[in-house]
Chains A and B, each alone.
Chain A
């Protein structure tokens, strides 16, 4: 073997991508750097010690974890249905997929209004619920979880569907001819092989939930310790105390970065071998 180590020729990238790539990176990172540069480091502790930030952080982490759980419990089955939808008529399949992705492109506030129209106390489903039981979903912590699940589900469904499709058909054939029915095949073979995709989708859904503002404030409102999550606290602080808003934003950023750094490369690439 040659002692001289050469770079993999296929790992070289075309030079033309360097400049726009660098601009893209600066556009993404620049605002964050500015935020850190302007952060009131000297009295960051005082700003965060008030009775607003810690409850909001706890609420954000708790609701984001709960909504991520909901995303996994509901999104994985939906992804399974979609990944098996090849036999459906083309227009139906495209329509269903488009509807699943729509929350991604909907302005979050509009999503919040849509949730009110469905689950509010005069909503399509919320109305009968309120009439029958007196239970109203808006203004509750459950509403925060619903809003976050609404915006996070598309990430999970798309990620898991891609991972399920990436599972080699020969493993499904092997499982079936070894006597596994659809359920056993899914639980013991397909799902474990798609697990990296599920984990990646869950992390993205969690990150999206942590940052959720518009749908939450519209659908759930903003009450400290109940519905006031960290992004809402940051937005309200901006009105009275921009320094506190920056301090809260730094906390949000740290949480988001910590979550995303935990996403290992191969989780994003699915199950390549």
Chain B
């Protein structure tokens, strides 16, 4: 006599599968790393990384995957704080690269990092203005001018914390028209010439190419933000996670080429 799976369980299982399918496309695990230099590496990992890394990390991943056939690195770029919140809330992530040590600390405090985070790069703020600088922005003082349309990151995200720091140093009382949720939306407003100026990272100005112009200011050097990276405890592929972290550290020069400052 055969036992039949109860209909409820079957449907529930199907629904769970369907939901998993909705949630993410799991990278196919390949078990044949035939000619790989380190034959133990295979499968895939998910890397949560600060939005400002979204130019340089995919390039590094491409060369990494070439060196280690059969591996897949999937990125999830976003505001560091948002990513950290989702990791703390239980998202399954293998590696986290944050745009500030403070944000990384929230993950460390939850005992979710595997080993100490390593700083791979640093970044500093720069004023971004639309091409031609239509608002005639000259420096940080313009952020205190209510007549100018200026945007900064919200204090709750790293670029906003850094902004607060430079405003304090420059003794400017900022009067922004908007506290944006991440650096990308600051850049969107400047690129679209909706704002006369925004405060973003040097690397963002570099990555935006001709769509914005950068105006450096002296206080930026005093508010440098660090980019720590760490493999996470919940990783189902710790070997690959560790290898990726090591690879990024070894290719620090590529980060500098993208405009980041050296870790020290």
Contact = CB atoms under 8 A, between A and B. Distances in A.
B70 interface: no
Interface in A19-40: 19-20, 23, 27
B81 interface: yes
B149 A139 contact: yes
A249 to B, nearest CB: 13
Given A116-B192, A121-B194, A139-B149, A236 B156 contact: yes
A238 interface: yes
A20 B192 contact: no
A122 B149 CA distance: 13
Contacts of A122: 192-194
A83 interface: no
Nearest to B186: A221
Q: How large is the interface on A (under 10, 10 to 19, 20 to 34, 35 or more residues)?
A: 20 to 34
B154 A236 contact: yes
A236 B180 CA distance: 9
Nearest to A245: B85
B181 to A, nearest CB: 6
Q: Count chain B CB atoms within 10 A of each CB in A23, A113, A240 and give the residue with the most.
A: A240
B178 A239 contact: no
Contacts of B7: 19
A239 B154 contact: yes
A26 to B, nearest CB: 9
A138 B194 CA distance: 7
A221 B180 contact: yes
B11 A20 contact: yes
A101 to B, nearest CB: 22
Q: How large is the interface on B (under 10, 10 to 19, 20 to 34, 35 or more residues)?
A: 20 to 34
Interface string A116-157: 110011100000000000001011000000000000000000
Nearest to A244: B156
Given A23-B11, A121-B194, A122-B193, A235 B89 contact: no
Given A19-B8, A19-B11, A217-B185, A228 B179 contact: yes
Contact of B154 (A138, A218, A222): A222
A218 B184 CA distance: 10
A222 B15 contact: no
A222 B181 contact: yes
B177 A223 contact: yes
A20 B18 CA distance: 12
Interface in A236-264: 236-242, 245
Given A23-B15, A139-B149, A218-B185, A236 B194 contact: no
Contacts of B19: 27
B88 interface: yes
Nearest to A219: B194
Interface in B1-41: 7-8, 11-12, 15, 19
Contacts of A220: 178
Contacts of B202: none
Interface of B: 7-8, 11-12, 15, 19, 79, 81-82, 85, 88-89, 149, 151, 154-157, 176-181, 185, 188-189, 192-194
3 A-B pairs closest in CB distance:
A221-B178, A239-B81, A239-B156
20 contacts: A19-B12, A27-B19, A113-B192, A120-B193, A122-B192, A122-B194, A139-B149, A217-B181, A218-B185, A218-B188, A221-B151, A221-B178, A222-B178, A222-B179, A223-B177, A237-B156, A238-B81, A240-B81, A240-B155, A242-B88
Interface of A: 19-20, 23, 27, 113, 116-117, 120-122, 136, 138-139, 217-218, 220-224, 227-228, 232, 235-242, 245
